[in-house]
Amino acid sequence: MSEVQPAKPRPDLLKWAIRGAALIGVAAVLYVIVSASIKPKSDADLRQFAKGELVKLVVPSAPTPTPTAGFTDADGKPMTLADFKGQIVVVNLWATWCAPCRLEMPTLAKLAAAYQTQPVQVVAISVDRDADLKLAKDDIAKNAPLKLYRDPGYKFAFGLKPTAAGFPTTIIFDKQGRERARLSGGADWNGKEARALIEALLKE
């Protein structure tokens, strides 16, 4: 009695099986790569920068929405933070009669100069009354490249949640327009802590 030899797989079927397995492997690798690339990045923990010159920095437990209250530019043109969409915005509320405001202004100017080629805006909003507009313009002129923005009616300052506790108050908004940190009182905004904070937000 002759033995029955097991049928050998046809070469063409074996070839297609190998190709199929290879394609499945490639698809799996591509899936992992795409999933990793679209995975949302977590927000940087800015509390680590609340030291040194920024020791009074307050970081909300969760980013807060963009304030809708407006302000104006030096010529009276209405503006909101939405005009700076896609940029990190360092808003500084100040006044010519505020000594700490004038003391920290040069450090804000240096911060603005350092990031002129990047999506960072330092928005110095004066709360001076109209009668003191010339004084505010003179102060800003001494601190290029800062530009003058105005909020004489405190609409923006009081529209914040929580409202500004006093002056100066500096609020930092991320590229999505969310408030990420705030500091009441003067600080060195050209110091290493401030630079590190901005760099952390730029990487998000």
pLDDT by 10s per residue, the chain, length 204? 555 555 555 556 556 656 655 566 555 555 545 444 554 568 999 999 999 999 999 999 999 999 999 999 999 999 999 999 999 999 999 999 999 999 999 999 999 999 999 999 999 999 999 999 999 999 999 999 999 999 999 999 999 999 999 999 999 999 999 999 999 999 999 999 999 999 999 999
Cis upstream peptide for 162 (omega within 30°): yes
pLDDT at 42: 81
Output the CATH code of domain 46-202.
3.40.30.10
Is 189 within 8 Å of 104 (Cβ atoms)? yes
CA nearest neighbour of 149 among 59, 64, 71: 71
Q: What is the pLDDT of residues 73-107, one digit of tens each?
A: 999 999 999 999 999 999 999 999 999 999 999 99
Q: pLDDT value at position 83? A: 97
What is the four-CA torsion angle of 52, 87, 199, 61, rounded to 10 degrees?
60
Q: Is 79 exposed, middle or buried (0-12, 13-18, 19+ CB in 10 A)?
A: middle
Cα separation, 189 vs 184, whole angstroms: 13
**DSSP E strands, 17-168:** 71-73, 78-79, 88-94, 120-126, 148-150
pLDDT for position 184? 97
pTM above 0.85, yes or no: no
